[in-house]
Amino acid sequence: MNTLKDTRAIGLGCMNLSHAYGPRPSEEDGIKLLNAALDAGYDHLDTAALYGFGKNESLLGRGIMHRRDEFYLASKCGMFKGPDGKRAIDGRPDVIKETCEAALQRLNTEVIDLYYLHRWDKNVPIEDSVGAMADLVKEGKVRELGLSEVSADTLRKAHAVHPIAAVQTEYSLWTRNAEIAVIKACEEMGVTFVAFSPLARGYLGAKLIDPSRLPEGDIRRQMPRFTTEHYAKNLALLEPMKTLAAEHQVTVAQLALAWVLHRSPSIVAIPGTTHIQHMKDNLAAADVKLSQSVVDELDRLINKDTVSGPRYGKATLAEIDTEMFSETD
């Protein structure tokens, strides 16, 4: 089995097959997409216990584990269903180990290649949570460890307990917090930086024109940048990108993904989609070569100063352990 560093630059984020966005595909269509992704050459698939409260892991378990030797499997713990049935962050060692046991059953596999702490539970020392995850490595249930949405300082503390193979954080033209310190820390420590939502939750696909028409329950309806107040301003930023994409004979999404990959040799990206053609297009973005002038132009067009609205609401921002540009970025 390959380590994460040996996989392709574009992996598949599986979340939206079961969670967060809508409309969601049927189980049959989800399995069809997963197998089509493997057929296309994807070799890194990313899921989590949180996604659909286990449904996404179960989807992979039913749909593609007969092809287990074809891909690197990443999943996450530390954020799941609480006693009240709602999403809860819980990094206690016993809970992490229980979550892993259940995940292995849902995934129908004996080992998870990369196991992330989905969120750092600020009520539990990071050393304790990572220590429990290190036990899973010793037991052969997990091969490598990762962290999600953490600061460079927390990464270093965790790495002192057990080597961290990857840090996963939202990163795209319109979400740049990782540029403060985390990407640099990953480069220095030999840690892979995994960019989730590299297409800005569909915004950089240039297909989402009116977020108010998204289905009820789609998390973007609660995200400030997708509100009526901000989205029209953000949509206008895409017009020069469309021109650049046409000049390079690529889609806007491919241009955005190529920009992410050009930012650091430590970066891999895991865009998600429910459309087979988009999935294939995303994988092809790894072959798009951009001149430094184009990278700089994209950087100038969409960045923390030109985007309208904060990334999350205040309650969600408070859960995340990342260096911030400001209280609202």
Please identify every residue annotated as catalytic. Answer: 51
Using the Cα atoms of residue 174, residue 36, residue 211 and residue 245 in order, give the sign of their dihedral.
Answer: positive
Phi/psi for 288 (5° steps) reads -80, 120
Are the beta carbons of 77 and 141 closer than 8 angstroms?
no
293 φ, ψ to 5°? -65, -35
Q: Kindly report the three-state secondary structure assignment for every residue of the chain.
A: CCCHHHCCCECEECHHHCCCCCCCCCHHHHHHHHHHHHHHCCCEEECCCCCCCCHHHHHHHHHCHHHHHHCEEEEEECEEECCCCCEEECCCHHHHHHHHHHHHHHHCCCCEEEEEECCCCCCCCHHHHHHHHHHHHHCCCEEEEEEECCCHHHHHHHHHHCCEEEEEEECECCECHHHCCHHHHHHHHCCEEEEECCCHHHHHHCCCCCHHHCCCCCHHHHCHHHCHHHHHHHHHCHHHHHHHHHHCCCCHHHHHHHHHHHCCCCEEECCCCCCHHHHHHHHHHHHCCCCHHHHHHHHHHCCCCCCCCCCCCHHHHHHCCCCCCCCCC
CB 170 within 8 A of CB 195: yes
